[in-house]
């Protein structure tokens, strides 16, 4: 989660995650389909584009904000300008998502209607999401929590505490189960069927 990635490396990792969700490789036709006809990938790419344009002297910050604004309007989803998101982001259904200021590692699977952010206005520290985490539909993650590598957050869970690496969080407030479910531990992506 620590090594710095360029926006291009992140985009390549994003494409690989989308391809692996379909159990296939990244081909030219696949890349065209992602860029032209896949809303989830377009949402992710818009976030990467913001990282690219912000480097343009003088107008970069304004351009980034314009792209961020347009992305919010088009998808009704938002990743905050202050959020740091690693490569390999997979968002199959980019609707109703709000990611506030947070640090997010590689290969996150982020489902629809997920909220990640501060618990109150007094919160100083941001949530930290480590590598290879899966956050299911409707989950809400609040406060200065750390979601450990490979953890799975169940649908509609409200997570207010740390989740250990490989752990499962389910329910409201989330019950933490230390070892991941066998299907998850075996490396299967529970969202594969939803990628189409
Ligand atoms: C969290 C999740 C990955 C766990 O799947 P799993 O490992 O197969 O777990 P199981 O179905 O065996 O459930 C284990 C226990 O957790 C409970 N549970 C599972 N998901 C839950 C959830 N989201 N909220 C509350 N409890 C849940 C089950 O009832 C079961 O409880 P029990 O042991 O008391 O019977 C899965 O239930 C889930 O939430 N997937 C979300 C997928 C999604 O967002 N799909 C959207 C596609 S568009």
Question: Quick one: which of 33, 23, 151, 14 has its CA closest to 79?
Answer: 14
CA-nearest residue, atom 3 of ligand 1 = 154
Q: Which helix (H) or strand (E) holds 84?
A: strand 84-85
- Is the CB–ligand 1 distance for residue 94 below 6 Å? no
Q: Tokens for 22, please give them.
A: 């379909």
Set 17, 64, 93, 106: catalytic member: 93
Sign of torsion over alpha carbons 5, 71, 116, 96: negative
- Find the mean pLDDT for residues 6-10: 97
High-pLDDT (> 70) share of the chain, %: 89
- Domains along the chain? 7-177 (2.160.10.10)
pTM over 0.95: no
- Find the mean pLDDT for residues 18-40: 98
Q: Which helix (H) or strand (E) holds 47?
A: helix 39-53
Q: Is 3 a residue whose pLDDT tops 70?
A: no
Is 93 a catalytic site residue? yes
């Amino acid at each position: 989660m620590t090594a710095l990635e360029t926006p291009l490396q992140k985009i390549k990792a994003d494409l690989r995650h989308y391809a692996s969700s379909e159990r296939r490789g990244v081909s030219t036709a696949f890349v065209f389909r992602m860029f032209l006809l896949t809303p989830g990938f377009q949402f992710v790419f818009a976030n990467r584009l913001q990282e690219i344009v912000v480097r343009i002297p003088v107008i970069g910050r304004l351009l980034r904000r314009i792209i961020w604004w347009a992305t919010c309007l088009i998808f009704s989803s938002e990743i905050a300008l202050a959020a740091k998101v690693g490569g390999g982001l997979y968002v199959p259904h980019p609707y109703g998502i709000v990611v506030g200021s947070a640090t997010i590692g590689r290969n996150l699977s982020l489902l629809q209607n997920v909220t990640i952010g501060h618990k109150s206005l007094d919160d100083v520290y941001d949530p930290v999401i480590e590598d290879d985490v899966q956050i299911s539909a409707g989950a809400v993650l609040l406060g200065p929590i750390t979601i450990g590598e490979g953890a799975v957050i169940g649908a509609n869970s409200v997570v207010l505490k740390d989740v250990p690496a490989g752990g499962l969080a389910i329910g409201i407030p989330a019950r933490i189960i230390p070892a991941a479910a066998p299907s998850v531990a075996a490396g299967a992506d529970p969202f594969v069927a939803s990628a189409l």
